[in-house]
Amino acid sequence: LTGVREETPLKNSLVYMDNFQSERKKTERTELVVFFLSFCWPQPNVSDVNLISTSIHPALFFLPMFATPPPPAAPHQSTTSPNRPCMQGSPVMLSDDRPEGNTYKLMMHQIGRLVIGHNSLLSTPAVSCIIRKIKAIGGIILTASHNSGGPGGDFGIKFNVANGGPSSDTVMERISQVSRTLEEYAICPDLRIDLSRLGRQEFDLENKFKPFRVEIVDSVEVYLQLLRSIFDFSAIKSLLTGPDQLKIHIDAMNGVMGPYVRRILCDELGAPANSAVNCVPLEDFGGRPPEPNLTYATSLVEAMKGGDFGFGAAFDADGDRYMILGENGFFVNPSDSVAIMAANLSTIPYFKQHGVRGFARSMATSCALDRVAKAMKLALYETPAGWRYFGNLMDSGRCSLCGEESFGTGSDHIREKDGLWSVLMWLSIMAARKQSVEQLVREHWAKFGRNYFCRFDYEGLDPRAAFYLMRDLETVILDKAFTSQKFAVGDRIYSVERAENFEYIDPVDGTVARNQGLKITFTDASRLMFRMSGSDGGMGATIRIYAESFERDIERHNRETQV
């Protein structure tokens, strides 16, 4: 089998194969290998197969299944719908956030044009940007996201639809159904594409479109053009280079963001070259999970604690998540970050031009954004975890800014969370308000109150045990007697106001997402939430516990979040 190592471990695979045959055909320019397979695999519960251990050879099993387009949409569906038909000859975006992923890209059916980033590396926000710019029918992203990559690590595959955002539950269900009916797939083992050469390359393939086009684009330049249309670059450049120069420290964590950081923050906006570290993309991300938080971005934390820098940020592997630190390591909680952005949108040219229509956050994100929405008299939507739930809200003009507690924030400029956009949002606000990170945060707390928030992750759990734990917990909190209970914690009394298994009804199309997490709300607006995560790692289950306590008294805003 071309391209398949003999040592590929099949016995532990989630995929079972039968009736296996192979057949070789000769074309004019390359060899076409056809495999007849029968698959059985679990349906994805998010917009990706995220994540699969690389001990299961991804090129053999998962890409052919996942890359097969969904079946045609119903005639009544609009062309802007995520369920639009996959038309032959249409363009598709392909991207990766790791150098070793290059060999896994070209197994596509019914596609006449592929658009790939220079050297195959694109950030997820850039993919969303380009899908929308070229009006592609969708994009396939190979990414481990914020998880460990490389041999023995994770291998994720995402499918973004025509609006540039993650595919809906409906699309993923249809892809899963199609994958179960596949009998064959074709690869071109002798096809050689120079991913380092910008421009269009054409190929003559048997039974394919003639010519079959592959276009290599400078994704950094395309993304930079979008950012120029959103922000006042001259104001940011003055902040980074002027008399009162703000010294910044940016950690790309050896993911895809290195070229974007150097080109945009250093070359375009004038930050010194040594402001950016770990900018070389590595297939194992330097041996650490590329997760921008206080646990894994320790080098950034230590650098900021020294007091030499006024602003620090880190990005995950594919550039859609970020962490913000202020001078002396002052940490900005992601839930506070999106709320502070919302309160300062008037400083951003894009929102001055397009207006602000509403906000959205995931259920597990703190209610800090709610208080800003109320003050601005704008709608606030609470969704399940997962960026795909924001897509309909933005497409319908209901939402301009959205965020999740898992270090993701974005707006309707694309349909993905966007790490570098978030950093430029902060720098723009700092330039306009002439305040430090900590000053902005504390002023926000003084005006709106502080939502103390923390999350506890319990990973690698036995899935069966995790299921029963959540089931039993639901039984306890949904009992009528639970609603009247009170709990004493220190000098505070927490009285239960309501308890629920969170359910979301999409206001645009009416689709319902049930069993999205257990939520206990107290009379003082504090909350306690429990959720099983569907996007972490390939081994075991993860249960997340979220705790939120609201404090209006400014004298109590300096307490430690965890005691």
Question: What pLDDT was estimated at residue 361?
Answer: 99
Question: What pLDDT was estimated at residue 409?
Answer: 99
Distance CA 262, CA 275 (A): 9
Beta strands in 83-198 (DSSP E): 91-96, 113-121, 138-142, 154-160, 184-187
Question: What pLDDT was estimated at residue 473?
Answer: 98
Question: Which amino acid makes up residue 461?
Answer: L
Give the Cβ contact number of residue 500 at 10 Å.
Answer: 14
Query: pTM of the entire structure?
Result: 0.86
Question: What pLDDT was estimated at residue 146?
Answer: 65
Q: Which residues of the chain have pLDDT under 70?
A: 1-110, 144, 146-155, 207-210, 534-539
Q: Which stretch of DSSP H or E encloses residue 453?
A: strand 450-461
Token digits of residue 6: 């003999």
Question: What pLDDT was estimated at residue 534?
Answer: 59
Distance CA 535, CA 12 (A): 21
Residues catalogued as catalytic? 145
For tokens 């450049």, the residue is 237
Question: What pLDDT was estimated at residue 211?
Answer: 79
Question: What pLDDT was estimated at residue 491?
Answer: 85
Distance CA 292, CA 251 (A): 9
DSSP annotation of 166:
B
Q: Are 49 and 130 in contact (CB under 8 A)?
A: no
Among residues 551, 542, 535, the alpha carbon closest in space to that of 494 is found at 551
Sign of CA dihedral 333, 367, 380, 358: negative
Give, in degrees to the nearest 5, the angle at Cα 247 between 284 and 341.
Answer: 80
Question: What pLDDT was estimated at residue 172?
Answer: 84
Q: Are 126 and 219 in contact (CB under 8 A)?
A: yes
Domains parsed from the chain with CATH numbers: 21-217 (3.40.120.10), 223-448 (3.40.120.10), 451-556 (3.30.310.50)
Q: What is the pLDDT of residues 105-128, one digit of tens each?
A: 444 456 778 899 998 889 999 999
Distance CA 140, CA 435 (A): 40
Beta strands in 122-241 (DSSP E): 138-142, 154-160, 184-187, 199-203, 212-217
Beta bridge partners of 457: 544
